[in-house]
Amino acid sequence: MKKLKKNYLVITAFVSVLGITACDKLKDTHYDKIITNNFKPSKSDLPALIGAGYTQWRLILLDWNGLWRAQELSGDQIVIPKRPNGWFDDGVYQRIQKHTWTTDDDVVRQTWLRTYKGIANCNRIISDIETGRIEIAEGKEATLAELKVVRASYYAILCDFYGNVPIVTKFDVPLGFLPEQNSRLEVFNFIVKEITDNIPLLSSANDITTYGKFNKWAAYTLLAKMYLNAQVYTGTPRWAECIAACDAVINSGAGYKLESSQKNVFVTENQNSKEIIFALPLDEDYTNNWNAFDFHMQTLQPENQATYNLKMSPWGGMCAIPQFISSFDESDARYQNNWIKGQQYTSTGQMLYVGQGDFKDKPLNFINELPGIDKGESVHGLRLGKFEIKMGSTNVLSNDYPVFRYADILMMKAECLLRTGQPDAAAVIVTEVRQRNFTDPSKAVVTGAQLQQGSSYAYGLKDAVNNQFSTEGGADIQYGRFLDELAWEFNQEGHRRTDMIRFGAFTKKSWLSHAATNNPSRTIFPIPRTEIEKNNNLVQNPGY
């Protein structure tokens, strides 16, 4: 029995020592993460929390295969042809130009993904403010109004791009919630109501406190854009409402005006431009994700690294469609300033030579010729130069991107006047916008009669690679001349697809390697296949 006792002791000791080491508490220390429910924001966190409502804007527009690409590469001004160093990829650039995009193409998907992320961010912040999880001592109503307008701006993108999308305004929905789809008309009405309801609460200041934000005037510009395209979106024109919204900005007294030179809007340090109404602030040190803002990388030839002493060697793909460039008056300052052309030099003035392809060792001289989208040598096509390329730039430009600018307001108003039987009043405004671009004042003048003419763009297939040629011209485009004015003023600004659709040219005309589809369903993009597969409430847009 003594032995037994000893054993009990041993076992007791064993179990006790086990007790010391044993633990059944699961680790929950989150050293480098924030668990939302444990996070109590302080006042100093407010800009960081509310700012999250805005950050998607630049990603939606400018990041790889973003909205900008969809708007420009599907239009008649800019193309990414196959180059000696690649740029064919899997044919995606060809499909954008030819309007044969698939429901899987990245350029079709990205705008949906990025825009809804922005909406979810806004919904979350709005919900947190409304429920008091984010406490705002003063200006709570104004902050909520601003976030609702930011959200409306995201819906405006969706309305233009996909048309029929679900409207979600709540964040506090059951896990697994699948939203219902709304019609383009419902989306349009929602946006207009959100903006008009909240405009009175927005700041009317136009200074550093509202730069890069939606103040009252940016909201009016967004509203004007909705009305301008109301006929496309809803079937019912709203020209008068558009004029009223433009007039609100024109008469705001907030200091918006045309720059003396269009160039000033697009320089590296453009944050003080009086022409900018809503900008996406960019800075190579802060907005420095890869592809944050890299038009210069996508358009310049690798040899041009020496021209601008760039930190990185550019990739050389994107260029102007020759037919568009040919529509310019060569004395137009915008032809001179917006495009990079001719012989290229190093920053110290040495001539540059082609490094690769059929033109190897020939002078690097950008010419306004392009055999077709399937073949572009290093010298083919003028390059995009509207945004100043600072000497010594990295892969990210620091120019702020003007989403809305005063010239936009003026041209929207002019278009509405033109379309409502006031061509001469329209011509006065268009002339005002043109004036800064011509040294010969007579060249700047446009008449009401001219604005009612067709387009001077020499539409037609011009594909030497596949031997496909046609002559269409633009005479049959109603107010085609006004469409040309928009082309000359707003090229490279991500407007083109929307403008071409409004003027009926998008599906009916051919250019370069793009043959007219005459397929009205191409005026909206398909809902990404992957999204339909995840939410069976979504119905694909007609024609896809």
Partner 1 sequence: MTNLLTKTNQGMKKYTECTPYARRAIRVSFQIIFLLVLSTQLLVAGSLKKQSASETKISQSIVDITVKGKVTDNKGAGLPGVSVKQKGANKSTITDVQGNYVLTVSGENPVLVFSFIGFQSQEIAVENKTVINVVLVENASNLQEVVVIGYGTQKRADVTSAVASVKAKEFVKGPVLDAGQLLQGKVAGLTIGSPSGNPTDGTQILLRGNTTLFGANSSPLVLIDGVPGDLKTVAPEDIEAIDVLKDGSAAAIYGVRGSNGVIIITTKRANGNISNSVDYSGYASTQVISKKLDMLTAQDYRDQIAAGIRNASWDNGSSTDWLKETTRTPLTQVHNLTMRGGNNTTNYLVSANYRALEGIFRKSDNKTFTGKIDVNHNMFDNKLKFNFGLLNQTNNYTKVTGGGSFNGWIYRQSVIRNPTEPIYNSSGGFYEQTGNFDYENPLAYLEEGDGESKNVNSRLNATISYKPVRDLKLSALFSYSRFNGNDGYSETKEHISNIKNGLNGYASVGSRLSIDRLTEWTAEYSKTIKNHRVVALAGYGYQENVTTGMDASNQNFPTDIFGYNNLGLGEGIKNARATLGSYKSETNLISYFGRLNYSYKDKYLLLASLRREGASQLYGANHPYGNFWGLSGGWRITKENFMKNQELFDDIKLRLGYGITGSQPREQFLATQLLKYGEYVYSNGMWTKTIEPDQNQNPFIRWEEKHETNLGLDFSLLKGRISGNADLYNRQINRLLYRFQVPSTPPNVVDFTWANVGKMENKGLELMLNFVPVKSKKLVWNTSFNFSTNKNKLVSLSNQLYKTTSNHFETGWTGPPITTFTHSTTIGGKIGNFYGYKVIDIDNNGKWIYEGRDGQPVSYDNFAHSFEDKKVIGNGLPKWYGGWNNSFSYKNFDLNITMRGAFGYQILNFQRMYMENPAIQNFNTLKSAYTPVFGKAVLNVPALEYNSYYVEDGDFWKVDNITFGYNFNKFKSSYIKGARIYLSSLNTLTITKYKGLDPEVSRLGLDPGIDGRDKYPSTRSFTMGVNLNF
Binding-site member from 30, 40, 42, 349 for partner 1 (CB under 8 A): 30
Tokens of residue 252, six digits: 């705001």
- Per CB under 8 A, 4 contacts partner 1: yes
Question: Does the footprint of partner 1 cover residue 178 (CB under 8 A)?
Answer: yes
**72-91 residues near partner 1, rule: CB under 8 A:** 82, 84-86, 88-91
Examine residue 112 and tell whether it contacts partner 1 (CB under 8 A): yes
Selected binder of partner 1 within 77, 123, 323, 368 (CB under 8 A): 123
Of the candidate residues 29, 42, 236, 442, the single one contacting partner 1 (CB under 8 A): 29
Q: Does 28 bind partner 1 (CB under 8 A)?
A: yes
User: Nearer to partner 1 by C-beta: 16 or 442?
Assistant: 16
What is the SS3 assignment for 411-440?
HHHHHHHHHCCCHHHHHHHHHHHHHCCCCC
First-last CA distance in the chain: 88
Would you say 415 and 444 are in contact if contact means Cβ atoms under 8 Å apart? no
Concatenated DSSP letters of 121-167: HHHHHHHHHHTTSS--SS-HHHHHHHHHHHHHHHHHHHHHHTSS---
| CA separation, residue 476 to residues 54, 326, 419, 472, 519 (Å) | 41, 19, 16, 9, 18
Please tell me the number of Cα atoms within 13 Å of 433 on its side-chain side.
Answer: 25
**CA atoms in the 13 A half-sphere facing the CB of 330:** 3
Q: Give the E-state strand segments of 312-424 in sequence order.
A: 319-320, 339-340, 342-343, 365-366, 383-384, 401-405
Whose CA is closest to 427, among 437, 435, 436, 418? Answer: 418
By the rule CB under 8 A, 130 interacts with partner 1: no
Pairing of strands 468-469, 339-340: unpaired
- Does position 42 interact with partner 1 (CB under 8 A)? The reply is no
Binders in 462-521 for partner 1, by CB under 8 A: none
**Least separation in angstroms between CB 314 and partner 1:** 9
**Residue from the set 2, 34, 330, 439 that interacts with partner 1 by CB under 8 A:** 34
Is 402 a residue that touches partner 1 (CB under 8 A)? Answer: no
378 token code pair = 């290093």
Give the whole-angstrom CA distance, residue 151 versus residue 270.
26
Among 76, 241, 303, 408, binds partner 1 (CB under 8 A): 303
In whole angstroms, the minimum distance from the beta carbon of 127 to partner 1 comes to 9
Size of the site for partner 1 (CB under 8 A): 121
CB of 292 to partner 1, least distance (A): 9
**Residue from 40, 42, 48, 235 binding partner 1 (CB under 8 A):** 48
Residue 274: name the closest of 260, 290, 288 by CA: 260
**Subset of 520-539 contacting partner 1 (CB under 8 A):** 529-536
Nearer to partner 1, 178 or 240 (CB): 178
Q: By CB under 8 A, which span of 102-110, 330-338, 383-391, 415-423 interacts with partner 1? A: 102-110
Residue 37 or 442 with smaller CB distance to partner 1: 37
Q: How far is CA 326 from CA 353, 458, 484, 491, in A?
A: 25, 8, 12, 14
Nearer to partner 1, 168 or 333 (CB): 168
- For residue 27, state whether it binds partner 1 (rule: CB under 8 A): yes
290 binds partner 1 (CB under 8 A): no
- CB neighbours of 76 closer than 8 A, spacing ≥ 6? 321, 323, 324, 457, 459, 487, 496, 500, 505, 509, 511, 514
Q: Which of 2, 16, 138, 348 binds partner 1 (CB under 8 A)?
A: 16
- Tell whether residue 137 is a contact of partner 1 (CB under 8 A): no
Q: Which of residues 342-401 bind partner 1 (CB under 8 A)?
A: 355-361, 374, 378, 394-395
Quote the CA–CA distance of 137 and 406 in Å, as a whole number: 34
Which residue among 137, 208, 236, 251 contacts partner 1 (CB under 8 A)?
Answer: 208
Q: Which residues in 264-283 contact partner 1 (CB under 8 A)? A: 281, 283
Separation CA 199–CA 213 (nearest Å): 13
Minimum distance between the CB of residue 405 and partner 1, rounded to whole angstroms?
Answer: 17
Note whether 542 binds partner 1 by CB under 8 A: no
- The SS3 assignment for 4 reads helix
Q: How far is the CB of 458 from partner 1 (least distance, A)?
A: 26
Distance of CA 263 to the CA centre of its chain: 20
* Given 124, 238, 386, 522, the residue binding partner 1 (CB under 8 A): 124
Q: Which stretch binds partner 1 (CB under 8 A): 11-19, 224-232, 433-441, 499-507?
A: 11-19
Q: How far is the CB of 281 from partner 1 (least distance, A)?
A: 4
User: Shortest gap between Cβ of 522 and partner 1 (angstroms)?
Assistant: 14
Nearer to partner 1, 312 or 445 (CB): 312
The single residue among 26, 235, 348, 442 that binds partner 1, judged by CB under 8 A, is 26
